Chains A and B, each alone.
Chain A
Amino acid sequence: MTTVETATGATKTMVLNMGPQHPSTHGVLRVLLELDGETVVRAVPDLGYLHTGIEKSCEDKTYSQAITLTDRMDYLNPLGNNLVYCLAVEKLLGLEIPKRAQYVRVMMVELQRISSHLVWLGTHAIDMGAMSVFLYCFREREEILKIFEMFAGQRMMTSYIRIGGLALEPPAGWRAAVERFLKMMPSRIDDYESLLTGNRIWMGRLQGVGYISPEDAVALSMTGPTLRAAGIPYDNRKMFPYSSYDEFEFDVPTRTESDCFARYMVRVLEMRESLKIVRQAMAKITDSGPVRTEAPGIVPPSREKMKTEMEALIYHFKIFTEGFSPAPGEAFVTVESPRGELGCFIASDGSPKPLRAHFRSPSYINLQALPKLVTGQLISDVVACIGTIDIVLGEVDR
């Protein structure tokens, strides 16, 4: 128990320990809350319960081996993590990726964005007491995971995006599967909106809660839907286009209220925009063409070549034993993950293992604003604030 001075004189405050095992902290986050009655006076997040040293492990693996580690950081956005890591290595190597592979990458990460927002919407609704939305969201997410399984053979830890292109050719029948999803999804998003957007309880729990001014949001390095809900249209897909995003037409939804409800609206609108991008990407992906770039010694050769060409066999062996050595230098790439600006910094010293691999995880940096969001709010609103920042603890702690 500590004492703080308030407007009415000295009062006793209470310190409440929320987490690390608490259903609404979405993993193992611990927040120390100092409370005056039900009002939060001070909040101190305590992290690191899921720290696994992924960045250190990357330094002990060859460039291609580290891809599987990136899957496990933000486990709701594995394809986005693969993408940012591969883009960084490709930038270091100066590789050009075939257009077809770029479009498939765009389609996959946009589907991933929808699935991540669905998990966010479902779990946030459960935090706010709306059980049924959770079930509907996970029903639709299952459809996306089935598409991923088709493409990569894995539902979650896909490792589908590889250095130089993709792991596999898109499977037979993928168009029909994605088309079916695109047909179904718009009306399902309408369903969520009819359940939530005009719902008085939902509005009451979210509107006016967790306000942060646009100036503070930028100063605290917030990115993603939380920053766009404050009225700043900062989106890496538009600002610093990567993977041919400049060829796609889509809007960046923004809101100006900067409260929890605005963040909810931004995410729902983003799902609709992602559907538009997936549709455009489908039209751009040709039925044939390379999905991997030709780079002997860096990108594994096709099975066919390995059986007919001696050199290809040697390269294959070298890639999977020794690895490849990019020129000494540094590269920093940022992409727009469902949670904000996801960055990857790689420094090479000319050896087959990275000198340093660092991930700029959006959840970690957005979480920094939590004390600002919750101070002065009621304790029940803390749950709404943590929810709408949309943290994934695997990525926060890495």
Chain B
Amino acid sequence: MAEQLRAWNPNAIEEVIEFRGETTLVLPRKILRAVAERCRDHAELQFNLITDAVCVDRFPHEPRFEVNYHLVSIPRKDKIRLKVRLAGSDPVVDTLVPIWPGANWLEREVFDLFGIRFAGHPDLRRILLPEDWEGYPLRKDYPVEGFRDVPMMTGFRKSSV
């Protein structure tokens, strides 16, 4: 798989991670869309289903964000994870909605909870939180109990200290 993509574009893959039988391809942000398109269309790859998009915040390390895309090839019974690393100062990556329309809500969820911008997304709005919510709750610099002041009463404490 990795050789296949390297033969096509020598700069396509920054790093290949093998861990517990799972393969992760770390891609440069610029060519994510092109690699994703090749993953779907090439006869030896055929990753026709995008099953999940997950963001990980490694604050305070930089590059801070990692966006993982989990792909499944139903005809080939195979799985792969694509990963792009994004700096905290510029969390923007190309959308994959034109390739897999199912990425729409997956990316909206990542946007909603982490504030990653997906360039070219047709409908990038908050999905789980209210439209007027401030901040991105799943970022590591967002406290678990939130920013809102909870009145303290003697004998009680905040849920997580």
Chain A residues with CB under 8 Å of chain B are 47-48, 51, 53, 55-57, 59-60, 91-92, 94, 218-223, 232, 234, 239-240, 329-332, 334, 341, 343, 345, 347, 349, 355-356, 358, 360, 364-365, 367-368, 397-398
Query: Are the C-beta atoms of B105 and A365 separated by less than 8 Å?
Result: yes
B49 contacts A51, C-beta separation under 8 Å: no
By a CB distance below 8 angstroms, the chain A residues around B127 are 47-48
Q: In whole angstroms, how far apart are the Cα atoms of A94 and B102 in the complex?
A: 32
A367→B50 CA distance, assembly (Å)? 15
Tell me which residues from 29 to 77 in chain B have a Cβ below 8 Å from any Cβ of chain A. 48-52, 54-58, 68, 70, 74, 77
Whether A332 and B48, one on each chain, are in contact in the complex, defined by CB atoms closer than 8 angstroms, is no
A240 to B102, CA, bound (A): 21
Chain A positions within 8 Å of B103 at CB level: 221
Is the beta-carbon distance between B77 and A368 smaller than 8 angstroms? Answer: no
B106: interface (CB < 8 Å): yes
Tell whether, in the assembled complex, residue A331 and residue B102 are in contact, meaning their CB atoms are under 8 Å apart.
Answer: no
Cβ A332 vs Cβ B52 within 8 A: yes
Identify which of B55, B127, B129, B130 gathers the most chain A CB atoms within 10 Å of its CB.
Answer: B127
What residues of chain B have their CB less than 8 Å away from a CB belonging to chain A?
19-20, 22, 24, 48-52, 54-58, 68, 70, 74, 77, 79, 81, 100-106, 109, 113, 126-130, 137-138, 144, 160
What CA separation (Å) do A341 and B71 show in the bound complex?
13
Given A56-B137, A240-B79, the answer on whether A329 and B20 have CB atoms closer than 8 Å is yes
State whether B51 touches A223 (Cβ < 8 A): yes
Report the separation of the CA atoms of residues A364 and B108 in the bound assembly, to the nearest whole angstrom.
12
Residues of A within 8 A of B144 (CB): 56-57, 59-60
Please measure, in the bound complex, the distance between the C-alpha atom of A161 and the C-alpha atom of B54, giving whole angstroms. 25
5 CB-based A-B contacts, threshold 8 Å: A51-B128, A234-B74, A331-B20, A355-B58, A368-B104
| CB of B80 to closest CB in A, whole Å | 11
A-B pairs, top 10 by smallest CB distance, nearest first, are A221-B102, A48-B128, A360-B52, A51-B128, A358-B54, A329-B19, A220-B102, A356-B56, A368-B105, A60-B144
How many A-B contacts if CB must be within 8 Å? 99
Rounded to whole Å, the gap between the CB of A335 and the closest CB of chain B is 12
- Give the distance in Å from the alpha carbon of A223 to the alpha carbon of B49 in the complex: 10
Docked CA distance A239–B72 (Å): 10
Q: Are A51 and B20 in contact (CB under 8 A)?
A: no
Q: Across the interface, do B100 and A219 meet the contact criterion of CB distance under 8 Å?
A: yes
A218 — which chain B residues lie within 8 A by C-beta? 48-49, 74
Q: A56-B137, A356-B56 are in contact. Are A330 and B129 (CB under 8 A)?
A: no
| Chain A positions within 8 Å of B49 at CB level | 218, 221, 223, 234
* Interchain nearest-CB distance for A354 vs B (Å): 10
Report chain A residues within 8 Å CB of B51: 221, 223, 334, 341, 343, 360
Chain B residues with CB below 8 A from A360, complex form: 51-52, 70
Considering the complex, give the chain A residue whose CB is closest to the CB of B109.
A364
CB-CB under 8 A from A48, the residues of chain B are 126-130
Which B-chain residue is minimally distant from A330 (CB atoms)?
B19
Distance to closest chain A CB from B12 (angstroms): 21
Could you tell me the distance between the alpha carbons of A223 and B137 in the complex, rounded to whole angstroms?
Answer: 28
Q: Which residues of A contact B58 (CB under 8 A)?
A: 349, 355
Structural contact, A60 and B54, CB atoms closer than 8 A = no
Answer whether A232 and B74 are a contact pair too, CB < 8 Å, given A92-B20, A221-B51, A332-B81: yes
A220 to B100, CA, bound (A): 7
List, in ascending order, chain B residues with CB within 8 A of A330's CB.
19, 22, 24, 56, 68, 81
Q: Kindly list chain B residues whose C-beta atoms are within 8 Å of the C-beta of A355.
A: 56, 58
Cα(A91)–Cα(B126), bound, Å: 32
Of listed B52, B55, B106, B160, residue having the most chain A CB within 10 A: B52
User: Within 8 Å CB of B79, what residues of A?
Assistant: 240
Q: Which residues of chain B have C-beta atoms less than 8 A from A331's C-beta?
A: 19-20, 22
How distant is the Cα of A368 from the Cα of B100 in the complex, in angstroms? 13
The distance from the CB of B76 to the nearest CB of chain A, in whole angstroms, is 10
Q: Tell me the minimal C-beta distance from B5 to chain A in angstroms.
A: 20
Inter-subunit contact B128/A343 (CB<8 Å) = no
Known: A219-B102, A330-B56, A343-B51. 9 other contacts (CB 8 A): A48-B126, A51-B128, A92-B20, A223-B49, A330-B68, A332-B70, A349-B58, A356-B54, A356-B56
In the complex, the chain A residue whose C-beta lies closest to that of B52 is A360
The answer to whether B101 and A220 touch across the interface, beta carbons within 8 angstroms, is yes
The CA-CA distance from A221 to B71 in the complex, in Å, is: 10
How far in angstroms is the closest Cβ of chain B from A229?
Answer: 15
